[in-house]
Structure 1
């Protein structure tokens, strides 16, 4: 039976959470509790919106300008079977579709983990691994703290780790209902709290679409 996925958020186009322009899927639920997590609302396993693999594959395949997808959360490897099945379904129609994921677990742990975790690893081009450590916060490319690594798992993005390691920043966009959303890895600590305070003072409602820094 194909697993269903519990999704916290999804974004059609993003340029600050991986190479090029790509979709982002934040899963709901994480077994880790990294202090300072920038997307704490994605940590509980309760909540989220259930999707079938087919529904999500249809969504991704309908985004012709996206070169791939980034999985964040939450903890993607807590829903590894569903995400692996999703990549298989997408690549049946788009064989060149790229895949990147964040994980609070180290690569070495995942590579010796459950079969579904190893299956997801085999389908990824890039992995950002390791927990977010607030004391080591740094403005790095796609990562929140200096202990986290960008690992090229295929030749597709083999050049990425050697590129300048500077923050990709964040993207803020206006939603059709007049609210704001943002995505990215804040280069400075306290970004979310400061942004929410300033926007609330101006009457804006903020929908968080940032990745978990863990």
Structure 2
């Protein structure tokens, strides 16, 4: 099931990535302990999206592939990275270049990506999207559908699929399919953020209400999409 080695993406200069947020360690958005990059911008408008601030293509922070590769390689106790957003496949070329740059130094680095598009559509989506698919180990595909919300591991509604693209994570697909949970973290300066896939609909609204009642405000850049 592991794809044949693919040629490196040939960069058209330094491809910048528009990033909404990063997290250096997370255990609820894929197997093991991993970093997460939320990209900025998504062409889809899924009803019930819990990270509407990541949808506009305006905004975010411009980050170079080299900068992000250095950051990932310096995190010695992670086994891979998860790409979320926003829509990672709207920045497929830059993310493919990023994985190539990291794997030059860490060949066994794992990669998972979320996408609101179906796998079949991504395969027809042009060379940049195909290049990113060929560098991923696991894809979580499909739009979030609020009416089909379910308590599932790493995804929010039961139309979304876990698609192994290599054999790296196939052992996890045989385990009980229950929610991975939510993680809260406090960054420097006291900013509160959360990561994960909500096990129940309306999670964000209720969380914000409860935090507000205790004097906390959830920063918009820390909100999570699917």
Q: TM bucket by the smaller chain?
A: over 0.9
Q: Name 1:63's counterpart in structure 2.
A: 75
Q: Name 1:202's counterpart in structure 2.
A: 214
1:43 has 2:55 as partner: yes
Aligned pair count?
213
Q: Name 2:8's counterpart in structure 1.
A: none
1:25-44 paired onto structure 2 within 5 Å: 25-44=37-56
Per-residue deviation, residues 137-178 of structure 1 (Å, max 9, x unmatched)? 000000000000001100111222221100001001122212
Offset, 1:205: 2.2
Per-residue deviation, residues 61-117 of structure 1 (Å, max 9, x unmatched)? 010011000000000000000000000000000000000000000000101111000
Offset, 1:207: 2.8
Q: Name 2:97's counterpart in structure 1.
A: 85
> Do 2:18 and 2:40's aligned partners in 1 also have CA atoms closer than 8 Å?
yes
Offset, 1:2: 2.6
Per-residue deviation, residues 20-71 of structure 1 (Å, max 9, x unmatched)? 0000000000000000001111000000000000000001001001100000
Among 20, 23, 44, the residue aligned to 1:11:
23
Among 97, 106, 112, the residue aligned to 2:124:
112
**Separation (CA, whole Å) in 2 of partners of 1:207 and 1:94:** 33
> Do 1:152 and 1:160's aligned partners in 2 also have CA atoms closer than 8 Å?
no
Matched residue SS, 1:69: strand
1:21 has 2:33 as partner: yes
**Separation (CA, whole Å) in 2 of partners of 1:88 and 1:210:** 28
Pairwise CA RMSD = 0.9
**Separation (CA, whole Å) in 1 of partners of 2:158 and 2:152:** 7
**Unaligned residue ranges in structure 2 (runs of 5+):** 1-12
**Separation (CA, whole Å) in 2 of partners of 1:172 and 1:52:** 27
Moved over 2 A (4+): 207-211
Q: Name 1:211's counterpart in structure 2.
A: 224
**Separation (CA, whole Å) in 2 of partners of 1:174 and 1:32:** 30
**Separation (CA, whole Å) in 1 of partners of 2:64 and 2:166:** 27
